[in-house]
Amino acid sequence: MTTFATAHAVRTTPEGLLWEPSERWVRGRQGEVTVVDSRHPVLVWEPGAPVPLYAFPRTEVREDLLRPAKNPPTGTHTGSRVFYDLDVDGDLLENAAWTFPAADLADHIAFEWFRRVGRGLDHWYEEEEEIFIHPRDPHKRVDAIPSSRHVVVEIDGTVVADTRRPVLLFETGLPTRYYIPREDVRLDLLEPTGHHTGCPYKGTAQYWSWRGGSDVPANVVWSYPDPLPAVGPVKGLLAFYNEAVDITVDGEPQERPVTHFTRTLSERPQA
């Protein structure tokens, strides 16, 4: 990871962890019980991990709810050896928390973020805003900018979208995404699916698949019906995975990028 120019310098541990203090007030709740209430959290990047997680001073964690893990996944989380099960009113979450094997973070406890894997808390908040999926990376930007570029999207040689009023979404580490008004998309060529994903920067997305079959991955089109305020201009607009369709911008064909979504799309059932 590159060095960042911030008020807090990113620090490196011998184990390869990167971390920096955060000034955000962070709380984690399990049911109606506040397990973490921290005004001094630190963001931690594990080696090879694309997104950060939080660790908290022990004094800002309900340690009385933590139990030594019965089945600790030793060796995970950068070689951590100390794991905790979380017991809240009889609801036991195994390996919900742990300590990193780094002297800099010895007095901190980290928590799993994903409730869907059975170990993370139900709700997380930064200040008064609920945060989903993972903590936001302070070194990542997401900008949604209205444009007058001419954007044409083709699938298997068929034009499925043609607009001169897209919203371009620029997100650090990802290719530009072109969000297109529904009126400029051939919705009759798309099939809505029940697939949904969440993004801590944009919100919850709904998806469509290409009706034409062939080798086009499922859920190749998405939209944010109720995006987070920071990307409000994309509300209700549709975007296509650049990795799987052909996009032309101002008459210039765009190369299909290779991202982590490339593998994800190839593993999905075909439409």
Q: pLDDT 10s digit of each residue in the chain, 271 long?
A: 444 444 568 899 999 999 999 999 999 999 999 999 999 999 999 998 888 999 999 999 999 999 999 999 988 999 999 999 999 998 899 999 999 999 999 999 999 986 544 568 889 999 998 888 889 999 999 999 999 999 999 999 999 999 999 999 999 989 999 999 999 999 999 999 999 998 999 999 999 999 987 788 999 999 999 999 999 999 999 999 999 999 999 999 999 988 877 766 655 544 4
Question: Which of 24, 21, 238 is closest to 131 using CA atoms?
Answer: 24
Q: What is the pLDDT of residue 265?
A: 66
Say if strands 252-253 and 66-68 run parallel, antiparallel, or are unpaired.
unpaired
φ, ψ for residue 240, nearest 5 deg: -115, 145
pLDDT of residue 62: 97
For residue 263 the two structure tokens come to 């593998």
Q: Where are the alpha helices (DSSP H) in 164-204?
A: none
The pLDDT of residue 270: 44
**pTM (predicted TM-score):** 0.77
* pLDDT recorded at residue 116: 46
Residue 204: its pLDDT value, please?
93
Nearest to 227 by CA among 205, 255, 259: 205
- In the chain, the amino acid numbered 254 is Q
Residue 4: the pLDDT is 41
Q: Cα(95)–Cα(121) distance, rounded to whole angstroms?
A: 11
Closest by Cα among 262, 206, 258 to 234: 206
The values of phi and psi at residue 246, to 5°, are -105, 125
Residue 114: the pLDDT is: 64
- Inter-residue contact 161 to 238 (CB < 8 Å): yes
Place of tokens 């019980």: 33
What would you report as the CA-atom Rg of the chain, rounded to the nearest whole angstrom? 21
